[in-house]
Amino acid sequence: MKILVTGGAGFIGSNFCDYCFSNEPSSIVEKIIVIDKLGYSGSIENIKELQNRDNFVFIQADICDQKIVSNILFEEKINAVVHFAAESHVDRSIDNPEIFVQSNVLGTFKLLESSFHYVSSLPRKERDKFRFVHISTDEVYGSIPLEDPPVKEGGVYDPSSPYSASKAASDHFVLAYHKTYGFPAMITHSSNNYGPRQHPEKMIPHMICNALEEKELPVYGKGLNVRDWIYVEDHCAGIWRVLNRGRLGEVYHIAKGKGMTNFELVQKICSQLDELFPRSSGRRYAELIRFVIDRPGHDLRYAIDVAKMKNELGWEAQVELEEGLRKTILWYVQHKDWIRSVLDRGYLLKRQGLCRSVVNNA
């Protein structure tokens, strides 16, 4: 199998490449070609070790460049596309929504066009083997009431942020290409990811880095927003299962299936840090927690049902949160040079507030 991984120099994309070369897929994967424009969240550091492999190729380019993408597809004789490339930071989408439309909507459309024309040119046998997996998010469903059960595949879309709206739009394009043209695509919706190489703007690494530097730990609102956290390697294993066993035109939810409030999560991070790296003052890290003004349109709860992945594909997440957090904390402590290189490229948003003003209709 030759796989084109878009956004493969990003957090989840680079971990997926690692997974393909070191786990069950290693006997099947002949070659991985990564295309990534190296925006703020993509880093050559994330794939540095992979570049020594003969069966790994990195190409710096934008998926909106159909000529480059088409050349890769035809020249490499790609068998599968796993599409991670996207702007994914909600705060950034509120501040500058246009780049999310460009990357997530237009980028996905152009990638679909390039892939569709490539697949159409293949002999029937090769065409039947081709797969396109679009990586999406639980945020497209909007806020799920606390009393409601987790939403199942096919649930009603109700995006709240420019980010989730752009991902919802890209989902619709993918399914439309399947329904209209028979394009061999599938979609995965995951819950919040965490683990090695996640950009320090994201919640878990942000808390880890701030705590170790004795900075405040800013939590939106009262910290009551509920999220389901999945360790990135579990997510990658789920994507691989969908790629190889999923049914065309289907949507699959990849999550741990356990929700907790943001405040509870930060407390867990602080407790592990207290054990692993006690403060020199002897005080607890939880004393650094500060509640800050909530962001606009902040969904109270995300919750997706994972029964389909378990019952149909025999997959479920393996890493418990406590184990995953410990691995993540240790990774960030051991990779301070990586953190510094990422932050040196620009760290524009802070959780205490956003750059764009919001109209008050009260």
The residues carrying an active-site annotation are 138-139, 163
Query: Rounded to whole angstroms, how far apart are CA atoms 239 and 132?
Result: 11
Query: Rounded to whole angstroms, how far apart are CA atoms 196 and 327?
Result: 8
Q: Identify the three-state secondary structure at position 188.
A: strand
Q: Identify the three-state secondary structure at position 78.
A: coil
DSSP 8-state class, residue 301: B
Query: Rounded to whole angstroms, how far apart are CA atoms 151 and 313?
Result: 18
Confirm if 63 and 107 have CB atoms less than 8 A apart: yes
Pairing of strands 56-60, 80-83: unpaired
Q: How far is CA 176 from CA 45, 90, 184, 255, 283, in A?
A: 36, 25, 11, 25, 55
Query: Rounded to whole angstroms, how far apart are CA atoms 10 and 342?
Result: 11
Confirm if 88 and 162 have CB atoms less than 8 A apart: no
